[in-house]
Structure 1
Amino acid sequence: MRSFSFVTVDVFTDRRFGGNPLAVLPDASGLGDAEMQSLAAEFNLSETTFVLPPSDPANTARVRIFNRTAEMPFAGHPNVGTGWVLAGLGRDRAGVLRFEEIAGLVEVQVQRDGARATPRAVTIAAPQPLSLGPEMPVDLLAGCVGLAAEDVVVAAHRPVVASVGNAFVIAEVTGSALSRATPDIARFKAAHEAFPVLGPRRLPLYLYARDSEAGGAARLRARMFSPLSGTLEDAATGSAATPLAALLLSLTQDRERRYDITQGVEMGRPSLLLSTAHRAADGIRATVGGGCVAVQQGEIEL
């Protein structure tokens, strides 16, 4: 039998049982594609990561990310959590890790309070600049989550596909509507047929509401629904927070901005995602970071 170690961590939180849980296999060498997918389904978390040797020795690792049904090109909380785990194993170089992923190279910055201390926080840079896709009809989006068209705020932008490595439909809604939103799987399936631009079994909706401004950061509340890929609701979605930050910056004349995003409250798993966006030579780039807490460790025999 082959044995593989795993750990689980709660990501974008400073307390156990908050944030978004993640399973990490720090050495997945020898696992095949089908085995990785089966293990991700077995863990039954929004994502599981598998760490492999890098193609380029200048990088830290090749990281593969699977949700319950498919491999993902990039995701936020899996990178933050995997960075935290590998940094705890001493695999960073002067506080930096570099992950090879389908969407590109992901650079990870590790913050510690001392040279050998457990990481205090991890921040990742999304692998691609902001790209925008088609707009989703307001009534189609609203129906997916049990809202009325007037609950969707279109003053700044209409619901739109946005990506910095992993695409989401991003829509602003009123504060009360964000709390009331409830995914309707039948409506999601019908909407996917009418709006299939994100690929098979993919229609992730990232809804946000504006909260306040404090300490130089815009405070937002958010929720993410992706029932067609097996995640009814996600507690913290870094790969959606980053295109949201980039999209919002694109609507201003600012060079950079910070966005503190609260997510997961309605699920009982409050999360805090610290995101930034800035204008770069190739477009608008974004980062997201936060804390992690270790929860479980064990062995899998196959």
Structure 2
Amino acid sequence: MIVPRSRVFAQVDVFSTLAFRGNPVAVVLDGADLDDQAMQGLARWTNLSETTFVLPPTTEEADYRLRIFTPSSELPFAGHPTLGSARAWLDMGNAPRHADRIVQECGAGLVTVRRDREALAFAAPPRVRDGALDDAYLHRLVAAFGITREQVLDHQWVDNGPGWAVLRLASAREVLALEPDLSLIPDAMVGAIGAHPENAGHHFELRTFAPGAGVPEDPACGSMNAGVGQWLTSTGAAPSSYRVSQGSRLGRAATIEITVDADGTVWVSGATTVAIRGTITL
């Protein structure tokens, strides 16, 4: 039986330079003796897209191990929790083994988080599923989004753990106009992306819907952006460096930066700000 005790806790706003306009993640920085039930219970209570728990690593290559929970389940990987947890870990005074990078161990394996002064960026992990969606699933998504098949320019599995699929529409306006009926796709993890006009400040608008994880719409999603970035840059549908806007329909103002190294590695970066520092009894 776990005896409740005080643990270091932080809440970090990710992907926005404007206060409280990004995507928050709750981080328990000492979760070593917590069981699955306690972790899931806290994640259900915080009711954020994700709540994370920092644990000692099981490999010498990693600086720490991270477990990531939505209100309803555990994820092997998620993007904004990766950046937010790294920021909270550094803010606590920890130092990584290598000055220019942090290595996170999680269900998806080892994820590198690059440090460039105060900026953090994670390397997109390999996709566990890619390729075009089958006709039956595409039909379900089109119906749930309330659009026509002709509006879908392209579609793809971009799954790096959570189960993501994405539809590419012609414009950011079409993406922002979506009013999905998630009751038609209760188990889906799906996004829609469309291009902004030139000189709009962002190249694309992205929205992500995760009813399968108990999150109707995610304000800013690093894992989806990672998989979509790998797809779009590899096909030439996006340049090797671009900016994504997300969350405006939820009153947020997130910006996600995607860049591709010469070796093909896709990096996902954005602002990270510790908004709450304190303790929690668990």
Q: What is the CA–CA distance in structure 2 between the aligned matches of 1:163 and 1:186, rounded to whole Å?
A: 22
Q: Give 5+ residue unaligned stretches, structure 2.
A: none
One-letter amino acid matched to 1:207: A
Q: What is the CA–CA distance in structure 2 between the aligned matches of 1:279 and 1:131, rounded to whole Å?
A: 24
Q: What is the CA–CA distance in structure 1 between the aligned matches of 2:253 and 2:128, rounded to whole Å?
A: 27
Match of 2:269 in 1: 289
1:109 maps onto 2:105 in alignment: no
Aligned residues: 274
Q: Given the alignment, which residue of 60, 64, 79 partners 2:63?
A: 60
Match of 1:172 in 2: 168
1:128 maps onto 2:126 in alignment: yes
Q: Which moved more, 1:236-245 or 1:50-59?
A: 50-59
Alignment of 1:58-97 (within 5 A): 58-93=61-96, 94-97=99-102
SS of structure 2 residue aligned to 1:29:
coil
Match of 1:257 in 2: 240
| Closer/same/farther in 2, CA of residues 8 and 165 from structure 1, 3 Å limit | same
| Closer/same/farther in 2, CA of residues 169 and 298 from structure 1, 3 Å limit | same
Percent identity between the aligned chains?
Answer: 32
Q: CA deviation at 1:24?
A: 0.6
Q: CA deviation at 1:79?
A: 0.5
SS of structure 1 residue aligned to 2:243:
strand
The structure that is strand-richer by fraction is 1
Q: What is the CA–CA distance in structure 2 between the aligned matches of 1:134 and 1:252, rounded to whole Å?
A: 16
1:221 maps onto 2:205 in alignment: yes
Q: What is the CA–CA distance in structure 2 between the aligned matches of 1:81 and 1:238, rounded to whole Å?
A: 11
Residues 230-281 of structure 1, C-alpha deviation per residue, up to 9 Å, x if partnerless? 1111111110101111111221399x7112111001110110000123574x
Match of 2:31 in 1: 28
Question: Is residue 242–residue 277 contact of structure 1 (8 Å, CA) maintained in 2?
Answer: no
Match of 2:250 in 1: 267
What root-mean-square deviation, in Å, do the aligned CA atoms of Structure 1 and Structure 2 show? 2.4
Q: Given the alignment, which residue of 212, 219, 224 partners 1:240?
A: 224
TM-score, length of structure 1 as denominator length: 0.83
TM-score, length of structure 2 as denominator length: 0.89
Q: What is the CA–CA distance in structure 2 between the aligned matches of 1:134 and 1:38, rounded to whole Å?
A: 36
Q: Give 5+ residue unaligned stretches, structure 1.
A: 113-118, 190-200
Q: What is the CA–CA distance in structure 1 between the aligned matches of 2:6 and 2:272, rounded to whole Å?
A: 26
